[in-house]
Amino acid sequence: MAYELKDGQGSLFRNDKEGNEARPDYRGELNIGGTVYRVAGWIKEGKAGKWMSLKASLPEDKPAQAPAAKQIDPDGDIPF
């Protein structure tokens, strides 16, 4: 049985940055009201010490390819 996020809960896991320092230190998911958000976290350091900056976003599905625009030949037959 796969793990299912309960409403109001989430998980963060250490992220492999693969040499790209701009990538988040942690990534995971958060379920709020039945909507599952992606969560990313970066460890920061400031005057008050270490803290974590978070960003939540809706998962992005790959956009469907828009069909190519149909070219109309102005000198050709009218299809109606």
pLDDT digits (tens, 9 = 90+) for 12-27: 999 998 889 899 999 9
Model confidence pLDDT, tens digit, residues 24-62: 999 999 999 999 999 999 999 999 999 999 999 998 765
List the domain boundaries for the chain: 10-57
Q: Is the pLDDT of residue 71 over 80?
A: no
pLDDT at 44: 94
Residues 6, 10, 32, 3: what is their CA dihedral angle, to the nearest 10 degrees?
-40
Question: Which pLDDT belongs to residue 60?
Answer: 77
For residue 14, the model assigns a pLDDT of 95
66 burial (CB, 10 Å; 0-12 / 13-18 / 19+) is exposed
